[in-house]
C-alpha cells in the first residue's frame, strides 16, 4: 500500500481469519506490515483490530470526508466510521 497519509481513511475488507469478508476503515498504522482497523460497531476506534497488510484488500480508495478528517488531525468518531461504511453499502458481518 502507499504512503501513510493516503492509507488512513481507506475502506478495506478482510481476506483471512475468522473476520474474512468484514469491511473496515483504516484508522492507523503499525510499521512495517500492520494496519489498525475499526468499523465503529464491533471494533471501535478505542480498540482497533491489528491486521497484517497482506490479509486485507482495498474496497474503495477512501471516503473523502473521512480521509480529510484523518489528514487534518480532527477527531474521528465511531459514528463517522459507521456513516462512511453505510455510504458504500457495506454488509456488516456479525
pLDDT band at 22 (very low <50, low <70, confident <90, very high): very high
The percent of the chain in helix, strand and coil, each rounded to the nearest 5, is: 30, 30, 45
Global pTM reads: 0.84
Q: Is the pLDDT of residue 90 over 80?
A: no
The answer to whether the beta carbons of residues 65 and 54 sit under 8 Å apart is no
Task: Give the number of residues written for the chain.
Answer: 94
Region 34-46: mean pLDDT is 96
Q: Which helix (H) or strand (E) holds 24?
A: strand 23-30
**4-75: which CATH architecture?**
Roll (2.30)
pLDDT > 90: percent of the chain? 63
Tally of CB atoms within 10 A around 6 = 14
Amino acid at each position: 500500500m502507499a504512503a501513510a497519509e493516503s492509507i488512513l481513511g481507506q475502506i478495506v475488507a478482510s481476506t483471512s481469519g475468522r473476520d474474512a469478508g468484514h469491511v473496515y476503515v483504516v484508522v492507523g498504522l503499525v510499521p512495517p506490515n500492520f494496519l489498525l482497523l475499526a468499523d465503529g460497531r464491533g471494533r471501535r476506534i478505542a480498540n482497533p483490530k491489528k491486521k497484517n497488510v497482506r490479509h486485507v484488500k482495498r474496497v474503495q480508495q477512501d471516503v473523502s470526508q473521512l480521509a480529510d478528517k484523518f489528514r487534518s488531525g480532527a477527531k474521528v468518531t465511531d459514528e463517522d466510521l459507521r456513516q462512511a461504511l453505510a455510504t458504500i453499502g457495506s454488509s456488516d458481518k456479525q
